[in-house]
Every structure is written in structure tokens, then in C-alpha cells.
């Protein structure tokens, strides 16, 4: 065990490496509320705690990409401003920049797993039962104490350093998978879809204008109207009949005269 610890850079019963390299992943947040994500692997606890900042950082960068892509599509479809993909490409570059650091983060956890995996396994339940048998198998209090110890040990086993580090390493691997997604290819598809949506929106607007013109001509044939948008009473529009009478159309479709 001592030899294995020396190979991994520690001779302690628990994995401790003072002065181990700290990996900076980047910052997340806005303005004065920015925080930095680090990966520390000088102890199991530090490595496990590092996952939280890494997850927040990746969530922030992926969200920024999604929002930038949505704004780009909205600009293309509306046609009210020149659409620029600069922010989207910048967001993609920020995500891709996480690929190498997250690979390092995964590698930083492997020596900790190696250390705890090398520890000899013990069957605690078998040892506790053996103590009862060797001492007094008929003693109910001794039996109850052994059962309690076995239950508490199971709770400890589910939270021991090896399990927690395995979980943290798996989360870093999941984050690396997110960073490896081909966002540039995704956005290329989004850009094509935006062009199609813009054409559909333009066609719908054209049809709406045609319907408005048809609606206006319908009322013009009854003597014309004052202002745009038809003869809606709710909209304050007044129409004039062929003999000069004033009227408007209620929301129920009825004609109201004498206004």
C-alpha cells in the first residue's frame, strides 16, 4: 500500500497532495457577480467540489450560445435589422475552448481513483457477525449492536471517497461530452432554417397585406372611409355612405349610423 501511495505522490492513508496543480476552467456570471471555476485534485473533497463550478460554467456558456442563436434567427425572420452571426460564433468558440481543460479535469481524478481502488476490500458485515459469534451469539444486545454497526457502515460505504470521486469524474466526462458537441454544424443547419422561416414570414405578411387591401376595397365600395384599417367603431374609424352619412362597424359586425 505504501509503495502504491508513493507511486501516486502520497504516502498518507487518505489521498492528500498538498501543492497539487490547480486548473482554471474560466469565469461565469455577469458583471460584478462573475465567479471562476477551478479544478483541484489535492484531495477527494476538493475534486468533488470542483464539479459544481464546472457545471455552472458549462451551463452559462451553452445558454449564451442558445440565446445568441435565437436572436440571430429572430433578426433574420423579422428582417428589421441586419442579422449578424458574430455573437453565435463567439459563443461556440467559448464552448469549444472547454474541450481540452475538461479532458485534463477527467485525468486529474484518475490518480485519486487508483489510490482508493488499491485499498484492500473488507467485508464489514462478515467481520461484525464474526465478533458476535466469537463473543456471545445468544446476547441480544450484542446482536442488535452488530446490526446497527452494519447499517451505519453501509451508509458510509455509499459516501466513501472512492464512490464520490467516481461520481465527480463521471460528471466531468459528461461535461466534456457537452463541449464536444459539433455546435458549428448545428448552427449551420439553424441558419438554413432561418432563411426558410424568413421566406415563410414574408409570404404571410404579403397575404395579410392583400387581405387588408381587399377589406378596404369592400368598404370603399360603400362610399369610402376615413382613415386606414376599415370602419371599426372600436378603432375610432368613421366611414361615409353614398349620401354622406357617417357610420362604423361594431365588433359584432353591425352597422352603427349617426356618429
d(CA 69, CA 85): 8
Q: Which burial class, exposed, middle or buried, applies to 80 when counting CB atoms under 10 A from its CB (0-12, 13-18, 19+)?
A: exposed
* Stronger pLDDT, 57 or 137, i.e. the higher one: 57
Residue 6 pLDDT greater than 90, yes or no:
no
What DSSP string describes 71-135? Answer: HHHHHHHH-SS----HHHHHHHHHHHTTHHHHHHHHHHHHHHHHHHHTSPP--HHHHHHHHHHHH
Q: What is the pLDDT of residue 221?
A: 58
Residue 208 pLDDT greater than 70, yes or no:
yes
Residue 33 pLDDT greater than 90, yes or no:
no
d(CA 104, CA 94): 17
Three-point CA angle 190, 194, 198, nearest 5°: 175
When the pLDDT of each residue in the chain is averaged and rounded to a whole number, the result is 83
d(CA 216, CA 197): 29
Q: Which burial class, exposed, middle or buried, applies to 2 when counting CB atoms under 10 A from its CB (0-12, 13-18, 19+)?
A: exposed
Which secondary-structure segment (H or E) carries 1? none
Ramachandran quadrant class, 224 (left: phi over 0; alpha: psi -120 to 50; beta: rest): left
Domain spans, the chain: 2-120+161-199, 222-257
User: Using 50, 70 and 90 to split pLDDT, how confident is the model at 7?
Assistant: low
Q: What is the pLDDT of residue 4?
A: 54
Tell me the whole-structure pTM to 2 decimals.
0.68
Q: What is the pLDDT of residue 118?
A: 82
User: Using 50, 70 and 90 to split pLDDT, how confident is the model at 243?
Assistant: low
Q: What is the pLDDT of residue 230?
A: 65
Amino acid at each position: 500500500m505504501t509503495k502504491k501511495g508513493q507511486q501516486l505522490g502520497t504516502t498518507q492513508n487518505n489521498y492528500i497532495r498538498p501543492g497539487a496543480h490547480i486548473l482554471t476552467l474560466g469565469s461565469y456570471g455577469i458583471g460584478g457577480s462573475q465567479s471562476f471555476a477551478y479544478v483541484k485534485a489535492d484531495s477527494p473533497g476538493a475534486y468533488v467540489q470542483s464539479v459544481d463550478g464546472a457545471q455552472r460554467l458549462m451551463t452559462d456558456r451553452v445558454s449564451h450560445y442558445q440565446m445568441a442563436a435565437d436572436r440571430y434567427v429572430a433578426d433574420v425572420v423579422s428582417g428589421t435589422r441586419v442579422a449578424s452571426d458574430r455573437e453565435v460564433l463567439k459563443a461556440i468558440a467559448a464552448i469549444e475552448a472547454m474541450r481540452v481543460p475538461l479532458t485534463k479535469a477527467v485525468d486529474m481524478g484518475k490518480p485519486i481513483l487508483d489510490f482508493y481502488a488499491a485499498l484492500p476490500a473488507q467485508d464489514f458485515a462478515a467481520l461484525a457477525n464474526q465478533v458476535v459469534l466469537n463473543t456471545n451469539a445468544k446476547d441480544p444486545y450484542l446482536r442488535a449492536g452488530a446490526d446497527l454497526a452494519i447499517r451505519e457502515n453501509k451508509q458510509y460505504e455509499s459516501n466513501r471517497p472512492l464512490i464520490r470521486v467516481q461520481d465527480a469524474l463521471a460528471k466531468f466526462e459528461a461535461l466534456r461530452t457537452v463541449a464536444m458537441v459539433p455546435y458549428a454544424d448545428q448552427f449551420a443547419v439553424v441558419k438554413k432554417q432561418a432563411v426558410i422561416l424568413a421566406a415563410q414570414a414574408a409570404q404571410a405578411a404579403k397575404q395579410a397585406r392583400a387581405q387588408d387591401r381587399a377589406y378596404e376595397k369592400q368598404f370603399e365600395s360603400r362610399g369610402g372611409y376615413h382613415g386606414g384599417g376599415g370602419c371599426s367603431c372600436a378603432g375610432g374609424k368613421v366611414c361615409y355612405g353614398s349620401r354622406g352619412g357617417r357610420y362604423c362597424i361594431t365588433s359584432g359586425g353591425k352597422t352603427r349610423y349617426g356618429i
